[in-house]
Structure 1
Amino acid sequence: MTTANDLINLVRAYNPRTNAKMLTEAYAYGEKMHEGQKRHSGEPYFTHPVAVAVILADMQLDDATIVTALLHDTIEDTNSTYSEVTRIFGKEIAELVDGVTKLTNLQLNSTETKQAENFRKLFMAMSKDLRVILVKLADRLHNMRTLRSMRPNKQVQKARETMDIFAPLAGRMGMQWMRDELEDLAFQVLNSEGRSSIIRRFIKLQRDTGDVIHKINSDIRLELDRANIEAEVFGRAKKPYSIWRKMEEKKQSFSRLSDIYGFRVICTSEAECYAILGVIHQRWRAVPGRFKDYISQPKTNGYRSIHTTVSGRDGKRVEVQIRTRQMNEVAEAGVAAHWAYKDGVRTNNPFAVDPVKWISTLTERLDSAEDHEDFLEAVKLEMYSDQVFCFTPKGDVVKLPRGATPLDFAYAIHTRIGDSCVGARIDGLRVPLWTRLKNGQSVEIMTAEGQRPQATWIDVVATGRAKTAIRRSLRDEDRERFIKLGLELARVAFDHVGKRMTDRALTAAARRMHLPDSDELLARLGSAEFSARSVVERIYPELTARPGETIDVESAIVGLSPHQTFQRARCCQPVPGERIVGITYRGEGVRIHAIECPVLEELQNQTDRWVDLRWHSGNHPAAYTVSFDMTISNDAGVLGRICSLIGEQKANISDLHFMDRKQDFFRLIIDVDVRDVEHLHAVRLSLEADSDVATISRHRDLTRKP
């Protein structure tokens, strides 16, 4: 394991003025807090925070970020507290550690609605201090490097999450080296045979053709020497996942792929970049449509470079990137270049982007998303897409994701322009609105008064901003008609269960469906976004239950052997509808745990005790106890109202005890018997809606015997 002195020397190499005393204290504090803890591999747990700190030191980041790396798991996994970290290391570092802790607790691979909300929280954390994300990315990188010690199903989960979220985020931040490594590590888990196949073909290709990279490297150096240009040339084969993705996108075999080699030329000035481009295009034939000038049109994360693809030696296509040394520093570090140090001072790199401005450009188009679906769609479009640069007739530049159309261009200028668009001209020629835009094109939008967005436009546009604006316009246009239709559908549905539809009932249903008001609920009901039955279910779940026999508690679990008994683990209290796993105990049968129960981590190496189980589908009785940890106002009648709310949901209170009594608030644990996870959510929603309930969470007592 890297020692404290090793880490200090690593930091001191780029920052001679580093606060060695603070780094030493952080190292000692983290080591003490994690004492006795082990990783899945059996190594001391503290090896992980140290490895994260080394990754960030290699990126030449500031002392606060290095210290945060050493402490990033202390608040979550040890007896350390926010106040203690603040007292010892100051508020800045405590805030960073707390931010990383909150990100760690986000379940980014959950259902879409929850995932969208967690993405909002992720971007909020990024907007407060981008260094939180840098530590989290380094944390994920080391976890992926040491993934093999985890259970296979956990490896797949982490690899999928990395491929879907963290690798694209690293790329969006300009840290392409990290994106490449994260993707390759995830690729090893998700498709190890595919990766091995590509590596084998590479080895065969190199055996058949010799060292192509060295040969092309020499060719480029020779041409630069002839032009009296001093520059460094680097060549490499592209990563296995990058090649696999190209094979999938182009539906081509490995043997038909041409541009599997990449070269980078690094010089001293912008003028030399264009001179080198001329030298390369004079020597080799440029491939049409494969030229990008990110020097004159930089990416929002500060990335600047010239990209061109040429037919090189033996007709092989190679991509060449041309940039200055300062541009290369930003290309390697991305947004993190803002915090990079050199010779003890913050690097004065003119191309390093201001993180505050960068995050605002990333999120400005996400704020307009009205619901979870729109937001998640907008986030994924922003994170995954490359960009094209087009021009207005006046010469202004509009940046759009690859695959964007003239409609996206129109909405990027102004929502009013997009809504009234009737046609477009590209480079002076009239084109259909579904035409895909290319780099450097000039786009003119034609509008007409009275024009409104069409429903078919949703399938034409590529940006989240345009999709959101079109959906909003379509909803507004037919809103009154949909509200009237929704009102009638709701009235019939309420009558069907013998209840009268009231404004209060509709408002309650809207709140439980996370909608702003009853009009929005009716408009969406009328537009068939959900059924009238689902609205009634939010208020009267017991009246909308589908017919069928109630499942006996003893028969609730599917997957047990004959005569095998079971009991619910008291630490996590799983209920029907939640994912579960069984753990065998000698002489005690099987205990049922929720799949996310922390207790399972202690049993990861005892796979022979794991039993694959699931809940029986159907109607379950209200016989499954869950505990709520609640803080409520200390006012007359509040506790009675809480009990009444639980009773209205046809749930029974089986126990109640106070944890803390203050003058203005009570904290208590309430045990409630519920049918399943939907019933649990209904009870919790009804309690959350009460104004005298300050906080409510599901209480999981990990100190109790499983």
Structure 2
Amino acid sequence: MQTVESLIEKLEYLPSEQREDIRRAYYFAEDAHEGQFRRSGDPYIVHPLAVSKILSDMHMDAQSVQAALLHDVIEDTYVSKETLTEAFGEIVAELVDGVSKIGAIKFESKAEAQAENFRKMVLAMTKDIRVILVKLADRLHNMRTLGVLHPTKRRRIAMETLEIYAPIANRLGMNNVRVELEDLSFTHMYPMRASRIKKATKTSRGHRKDMVKKIQEAVVNRLERDGLTGRVTGREKHLYSIYSKMKEQRKPFNEIMDVYGFRIIVNSVDMCYRVLGAIHNLYKPIPGRFKDYIAIPKANGYQSLHTTLIGMNGVPIEIQVRTEEMDAMANNGIAAHWLYKSDPDPAGGAQNRAKEWLKGLLEMQQRAGNSQDFLETVKIDLFPDEVYVFTPKGDILELPTGATPVDFAYAVHTDVGNSCVAARLDHRLVPLSTPIQSGQTIKIITAPGACPNPAWLSFVTTAKARANIRHFLKTQQRSESVALGQRLLEKALAPFDWTFDAIPAERIETALSEAGFATLDDMLADIGLGNQMAQIAARRMLPTSEEDPAAKDSKSTPLVIRGTEGMVINLAKCCRPIPGDSVMGHLSSGRGMVIHRDNCKNIASELKENREKCLSVQWAQDAIGEYAVDLRVQMENERGSLATLASLISQADANIETINIKEKDAHLSVVSLRISIHNRAHLAKTIRRMRTLKAVHRIVRVRN
């Protein structure tokens, strides 16, 4: 049976009075959990004791170990946060409160509960990073004892661990915790696969023994010959990483295990580079496979030199060279801060990086619509494979692999991202969707009136960029839908000889309470988005004595549109209306108003089914902009005729967006074109220009 004494023995690195505080916390927790048992039948206190031992192995401070012993008392027993504050001080009580799960809130779905839990954890983490360290230790012990639960529940918890907790451990540089969480999750999710890989690894270890010994001896001898000191150890691959590599790289087990890994631990940074030189003299390095994470550490503070060599008999060898402090950082990450806190900065950098990351999470959480949105956004951020890029001033920024100039712009500042219009990579103008490579220099070009494009969401990779673009678009859509809602309401009031400004405030208040809206803007936005009919809102606002507008419908004038209203007035893709066309509007729920040509089949069917959702609109006289039009051109198969046609379109100041050719028969082809033009007159001019080509037989504007 595990006892408090076995824990106290592990805490020799703490002063005796702090050890006594921890002993007191143990007896307090034991008393609070009296009569409670785990699923395995063990007394409940076994779990907090095991969690605090995990933290003591990381050499965590006394407050964290106390919080680990007490982490379930607020949630599972009669003890309140106030009682804890009196007994152990405010910091320990805050840590325990941060770790306590939110059992009180009822959620509609498990996904929502998980997302909300994560959001609360992030908030607690930002106050004190130790909250997450206690939480990770708690999850690690739960994973070690998961066997007693039902298989379905085991799989669900394992999946959550793999999706959230293992990546957080990785983000905080806690490699030992991450590896164990991944392996345990893998074992519970896919027991058959795990046992087969385990068996194969055992067999392969036997075959590899001689080769490992030979390489290790060769490396040790070379270091001794050059008068360099270092500890050489073999590196074992863990189950989940073998499985992931087999899956991602589509390679069999043998090919993954063909690579031999070694780690050389030395006593100084200078020695790291000297050892690297000696190793490169011993075996030939593979070009492009050397990474210097000492000069440019990873986002989680990880530092090491990585190189891949071709050893004896053409065997690939992966070698990592690092100092003792770097090794502690690699294994314990942010927790190494407490282990080496006498040192000025082995882990201080990691501490600051973690704080920066948490600050970013907090900012995202304030902008995210709901918990699930936030969780989905953060999951992207939790799996980074970094590229390192330079700002024009020479500063280094790190971004996930596959990041684009838009991600870079948002990493610099939200305002830079929002007003970004173009980018230069190594002084060359590139599309904003171009993936960035390590070592490139990026310059972002901004414009005062620019704003994010919804299409950016399809290629950005960082959580910050995604969250900021969504936030901006939501805000923009709301302001545009409020403006359109007001115009639609004015139009609905016109048949009654009323204007919006003339309606008494009390009538507006009544209409809002009847419709269940808190503010006038909420109602206008709902009208603009097509979720509510303007006519119904107008009737609610008017005095009851007003006659039915059907009698005055002749006064109704069409709504004037310019085509540049933004996100709530959309041009239908089925008939592609342009200024000058005779058009109709259809209020589509959630999208706002969709403009169709009045001879479009879709608007005809809507007129039959939802007449009240269709309204007459007309183009403004001065409508400007570029509009897409689909044309079908029948022309003879003559050499050079297509190039001439493209040239004629260009001469008419129109632009070809897409082009597609199908042979109709031996003599004729059908060319489908999408061109962008300004209005109906411009289209007529372009078609006249195209007809001057003798090879053209017929030009038709595609209707549906």
TM-score by length of 1: 0.66
Q: Take 1:502 and 1:214, find their aligned partners in 2: how far apart are those partners? A: 85
Q: Following TM superposition, by how much is the alpha carbon of 1:326 offset from its aligned partner in structure 2, in angstroms?
A: 1.6
Q: Deviations over 1:485-541 (max 9, x none)?
A: 56799999xxxxxxx99773599557xxxxxx774786588669xx669xx9xxxxx
Q: Deviations over 1:376-414 (max 9, x none)?
A: 343222222232211112211112122211221122223
Instruction: State whether residues 506 and 518 of structure 1, in contact with CA within 8 Å, keep that contact through their aligned partners in structure 2.
Output: no
Q: Following TM superposition, by how much is the alpha carbon of 1:77 offset from its aligned partner in structure 2, in angstroms?
A: 2.0
2:345 to 350, 366, 370: 350
Q: Following TM superposition, by how much is the alpha carbon of 1:483 offset from its aligned partner in structure 2, in angstroms?
A: 3.3
Task: Please name the residue that 1:234 is paired with.
Answer: 233
Q: Following TM superposition, by how much is the alpha carbon of 1:141 offset from its aligned partner in structure 2, in angstroms?
A: 0.7
Instruction: State whether residues 325 and 346 of structure 2, in contact with CA within 8 Å, keep that contact through their aligned partners in structure 1.
Output: yes
Match of 1:321, SS state, is strand
1:361 to 356, 360, 374: 356
Q: Take 2:47 and 2:24, find their aligned partners in 1: how far apart are those partners? A: 17
Q: Following TM superposition, by how much is the alpha carbon of 1:89 offset from its aligned partner in structure 2, in angstroms?
A: 2.5
Match of 1:390, SS state, is strand
Instruction: State whether residues 156 and 189 of structure 1, in contact with CA within 8 Å, keep that contact through their aligned partners in structure 2.
Output: yes
Structure 1 range deviating more: 305-314 or 320-329: 305-314
Q: Deviations over 1:169-213 (max 9, x none)?
A: 111111011001001001001111222222233234334444443
Inter-CA distance 288–488: structure 2 relative to 1 (3 Å threshold): farther
Q: Deviations over 1:229-277 (max 9, x none)?
A: 1011222221111121122222333233367543221111111112222
Inter-CA distance 35–519: structure 2 relative to 1 (3 Å threshold): same
Q: Following TM superposition, by how much is the alpha carbon of 1:324 offset from its aligned partner in structure 2, in angstroms?
A: 1.1
Task: Please name the residue that 1:395 is paired with.
Answer: 394
Task: Please name the residue that 1:167 is paired with.
Answer: 166
- One-letter amino acid matched to 1:222: N
Inter-CA distance 256–332: structure 2 relative to 1 (3 Å threshold): closer
Q: Following TM superposition, by how much is the alpha carbon of 1:278 offset from its aligned partner in structure 2, in angstroms?
A: 2.2
Inter-CA distance 433–60: structure 2 relative to 1 (3 Å threshold): same
Match of 2:185, SS state, is helix
Match of 1:364, SS state, is helix
Q: Take 1:439 and 1:112, find their aligned partners in 2: how far apart are those partners? A: 36
Inter-CA distance 56–94: structure 2 relative to 1 (3 Å threshold): same
Report whether the alignment pairs 1:371 with 2:369: yes
Q: Deviations over 1:528-575 (max 9, x none)?
A: 9xx669xx9xxxxxxxxxxxxxxxxxxxxxxxxxxxxxxxxxxxxxxx
2:512 to 487, 504, 515: 504
Q: Across the two proteins, how many residue pairs are aligned to each other? A: 516
Task: Please name the residue that 2:413 is paired with.
Answer: 414
Inter-CA distance 390–264: structure 2 relative to 1 (3 Å threshold): same
Instruction: State whether residues 174 and 335 of structure 1, in contact with CA within 8 Å, keep that contact through their aligned partners in structure 2.
Output: yes
Q: Following TM superposition, by how much is the alpha carbon of 1:289 offset from its aligned partner in structure 2, in angstroms?
A: 4.1
Match of 1:365, SS state, is helix
Instruction: State whether residues 266 and 322 of structure 1, in contact with CA within 8 Å, keep that contact through their aligned partners in structure 2.
Output: yes
Inter-CA distance 161–468: structure 2 relative to 1 (3 Å threshold): closer
Q: Take 2:425 and 2:59, find their aligned partners in 1: how far apart are those partners? A: 45
Q: Following TM superposition, by how much is the alpha carbon of 1:216 offset from its aligned partner in structure 2, in angstroms?
A: 3.0
- One-letter amino acid matched to 2:453: Q
Match of 1:255, SS state, is helix
1:207-226 residue pairs with structure 2 within 5 A? 207-226=206-225
Match of 2:278, SS state, is helix
Report whether the alignment pairs 1:2 with 2:2: yes
Q: Take 2:112 and 2:76, find their aligned partners in 1: how far apart are those partners? A: 28
Instruction: State whether residues 403 and 436 of structure 1, in contact with CA within 8 Å, keep that contact through their aligned partners in structure 2.
Output: yes
Match of 2:345, SS state, is coil
Match of 1:5, SS state, is helix
Instruction: State whether residues 386 and 399 of structure 2, in contact with CA within 8 Å, keep that contact through their aligned partners in structure 1.
Output: yes
Task: Please name the residue that 1:254 is paired with.
Answer: 253
Structure 1 range deviating more: 129-138 or 297-306: 297-306
Task: Please name the residue that 1:625 is paired with.
Answer: none
Instruction: State whether residues 490 and 501 of structure 1, in contact with CA within 8 Å, keep that contact through their aligned partners in structure 2.
Output: no
Task: Please name the residue that 1:177 is paired with.
Answer: 176
Q: Deviations over 1:304-346 (max 9, x none)?
A: 22223333444343432221112222222211122237xxxx5
Q: Take 1:172 and 1:106, find their aligned partners in 2: how far apart are those partners? A: 28
Q: Following TM superposition, by how much is the alpha carbon of 1:33 offset from its aligned partner in structure 2, in angstroms?
A: 2.5
Q: Take 2:523 and 2:227, find their aligned partners in 1: how far apart are those partners? A: 70
Report whether the alignment pairs 1:190 with 2:185: no
Match of 2:434, SS state, is coil
Match of 1:310, SS state, is strand
Q: Following TM superposition, by how much is the alpha carbon of 1:218 offset from its aligned partner in structure 2, in angstroms?
A: 2.5
1:198-213 residue pairs with structure 2 within 5 A? 198-213=197-212
Q: Take 1:359 and 1:128, find their aligned partners in 2: how far apart are those partners? A: 12
Instruction: State whether residues 59 and 339 of structure 2, in contact with CA within 8 Å, keep that contact through their aligned partners in structure 1.
Output: yes
Q: Deviations over 1:627-676 (max 9, x none)?
A: xxxxxxxxxxxxxxxxxxxxxxxxxxxxxxxxxxxxxxxxxxxxxxxxxx
Q: Take 1:522 and 1:274, find their aligned partners in 2: how far apart are those partners? A: 66
Inter-CA distance 285–418: structure 2 relative to 1 (3 Å threshold): farther
Instruction: State whether residues 101 and 117 of structure 2, in contact with CA within 8 Å, keep that contact through their aligned partners in structure 1.
Output: no
Q: Take 2:113 and 2:523, find their aligned partners in 1: how far apart are those partners? A: 20
Structure 1 range deviating more: 123-132 or 106-115: 106-115
Q: Take 2:278 and 2:110, find their aligned partners in 1: how far apart are those partners? A: 52
Structure 1 range deviating more: 216-225 or 418-427: 418-427
Report whether the alignment pairs 1:326 with 2:325: yes
Q: Take 1:524 and 1:352, find their aligned partners in 2: how far apart are those partners? A: 52
Q: Take 2:490 and 2:378, find their aligned partners in 1: how far apart are those partners? A: 37
- One-letter amino acid matched to 2:88: F
Inter-CA distance 453–328: structure 2 relative to 1 (3 Å threshold): same
TM-score by length of 2: 0.66
Match of 1:40, SS state, is coil
Inter-CA distance 445–81: structure 2 relative to 1 (3 Å threshold): closer
- One-letter amino acid matched to 2:5: N
Instruction: State whether residues 99 and 121 of structure 2, in contact with CA within 8 Å, keep that contact through their aligned partners in structure 1.
Output: no
Task: Please name the residue that 1:461 is paired with.
Answer: 460
Match of 2:467, SS state, is helix
Q: Take 1:122 and 1:455, find their aligned partners in 2: how far apart are those partners? A: 30
Q: Following TM superposition, by how much is the alpha carbon of 1:110 offset from its aligned partner in structure 2, in angstroms?
A: 5.1
Match of 1:350, SS state, is coil
Instruction: State whether residues 74 and 80 of structure 1, in contact with CA within 8 Å, keep that contact through their aligned partners in structure 2.
Output: yes
Q: Take 1:165 and 1:187, find their aligned partners in 2: how far apart are those partners? A: 14
Structure 2: gaps of 5 or more residues: 492-507, 537-704
Instruction: State whether residues 338 and 354 of structure 1, in contact with CA within 8 Å, keep that contact through their aligned partners in structure 2.
Output: no
Instruction: State whether residues 512 and 523 of structure 2, in contact with CA within 8 Å, keep that contact through their aligned partners in structure 1.
Output: no
Q: Take 2:170 and 2:520, find their aligned partners in 1: how far apart are those partners? A: 41
Instruction: State whether residues 401 and 463 of structure 1, in contact with CA within 8 Å, keep that contact through their aligned partners in structure 2.
Output: yes
Inter-CA distance 234–461: structure 2 relative to 1 (3 Å threshold): same
Report whether the alignment pairs 1:441 with 2:449: no
- One-letter amino acid matched to 1:504: L
Report whether the alignment pairs 1:24 with 2:32: no
Instruction: State whether residues 33 and 44 of structure 2, in contact with CA within 8 Å, keep that contact through their aligned partners in structure 1.
Output: yes
Match of 2:223, SS state, is helix
Task: Please name the residue that 2:633 is paired with.
Answer: none
- One-letter amino acid matched to 1:371: G
1:667-682 residue pairs with structure 2 within 5 A? none
Cα RMSD over matched residues?
3.6
- One-letter amino acid matched to 1:250: Q
Match of 1:458, SS state, is helix
Instruction: State whether residues 262 and 319 of structure 2, in contact with CA within 8 Å, keep that contact through their aligned partners in structure 1.
Output: yes
Task: Please name the residue that 2:632 is paired with.
Answer: none
Q: Take 1:253 and 1:522, find their aligned partners in 2: how far apart are those partners? A: 60
Q: Following TM superposition, by how much is the alpha carbon of 1:58 offset from its aligned partner in structure 2, in angstroms?
A: 0.8
Q: Take 1:371 and 1:20, find their aligned partners in 2: how far apart are those partners? A: 45
Task: Please name the residue that 1:92 is paired with.
Answer: 91
